[in-house]
């Protein structure tokens, strides 16, 4: 069975601070996909980043970066120089390979508040 | 391409009634997944349809059902509504070559009174 744990329920930072959101996952599959989504108050889930289990290279995309470590089953997400518009609920999610790929397991979410 | 659309966006129903929600996927996507989001249970997978067949099913009672049409549009139905069914219902569509890449719609917010 899959499981995703986001231990941080709420985080509050001041604008321009860096913030890291933690995610730990469990799966028995060797091929899987990890995601971070952002959910603003409007409710729609906005895709941010995806990582495949066979690619542990960590990258930076604009103000976003991520740290994927299979050894610790962690997929942490960092926002650099946070902005007020980054305030939202952030979800980490896990999807296994086809035919179960369309069945994602989500963490409970981390509510990020960025204060001006 | 137009994104995933869901109708209606808001719905208020009375306990015991039934409701049907609709989801139109991105053009060319044949997979549609449904999720329920509540404050207490978080985001939970309901079911996935691919090419008019249910491919995956979550752990929900039989009151929750769905179907998919030949144009890939999907509907989900909840019968005998309970107060606990109040939630945001999200659907997502995926391309055939990347079934893990889900594009979410804006959701339907259902309130059961």
**A43/B50 touch (CB, cutoff 8 Å), yes or no:** no
pLDDT digits (tens, 9 = 90+) for B35-65: 999 988 899 999 999 999 999 999 999 999 9
Residue from the list B33, B105, B109 with its beta carbon closest to the beta carbon of A103: B33
| Minimum CA–CA partner of B39 in chain A | A108
Average pLDDT over residues B81-108: 95
Radius of gyration of chain B, Cα coordinates, nearest whole angstrom: 13
Residues of A in contact with B48 (CB under 8 A): 102-103
**A102/B100 touch (CB, cutoff 8 Å), yes or no:** yes
Alpha-carbon gap, residue A73 to A80, rounded angstroms: 23
Binding-face residues of A in 86-115 toward B, CB within 8 A: 91, 95, 97-109
Q: Quick count: other Cβ atoms within 10 Å of Cβ B62?
A: 6
In this prediction, residue A99 carries a pLDDT of 82
pLDDT digits (tens, 9 = 90+) for A76-85: 999 999 999 9
Alpha-carbon gap, residue A14 to A40, rounded angstroms: 18
């Amino acid at each position: 069975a899959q499981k995703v744990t986001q231990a941080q329920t709420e985080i509050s930072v001041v604008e321009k601070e860096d913030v890291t959101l933690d995610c730990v996952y469990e799966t028995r599959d060797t091929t899987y996909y990890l995601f971070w989504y952002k959910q603003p108050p409007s409710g729609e889930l906005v895709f941010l980043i995806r990582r495949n289990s066979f690619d542990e290279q960590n990258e930076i995309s604009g103000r976003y970066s991520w740290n994927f470590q299979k050894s610790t089953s962690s997929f942490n997400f960092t926002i650099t120089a946070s902005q007020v518009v980054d305030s939202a609920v952030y979800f980490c999610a896990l999807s296994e390979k086809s035919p179960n790929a369309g069945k994602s397991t989500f963490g409970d979410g981390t509510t990020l508040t960025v204060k001006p | 391409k137009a994104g995933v659309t869901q109708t209606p966006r808001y719905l208020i129903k009375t306990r015991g009634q039934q409701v049907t929600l609709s989801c139109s996927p991105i053009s060319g996507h044949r997979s549609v997944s449904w999720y329920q989001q509540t404050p207490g249970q978080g985001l939970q997978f309901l079911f996935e349809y691919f090419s008019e067949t249910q491919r995956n099913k979550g752990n929900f009672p039989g009151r929750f059902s769905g179907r998919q049409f030949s144009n890939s549009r999907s509907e989900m139905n909840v019968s005998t509504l309970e107060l606990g069914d109040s939630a945001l219902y999200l659907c997502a569509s995926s391309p055939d070559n990347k079934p893990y890449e889900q594009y979410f719609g804006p959701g339907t917010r259902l309130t059961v009174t």
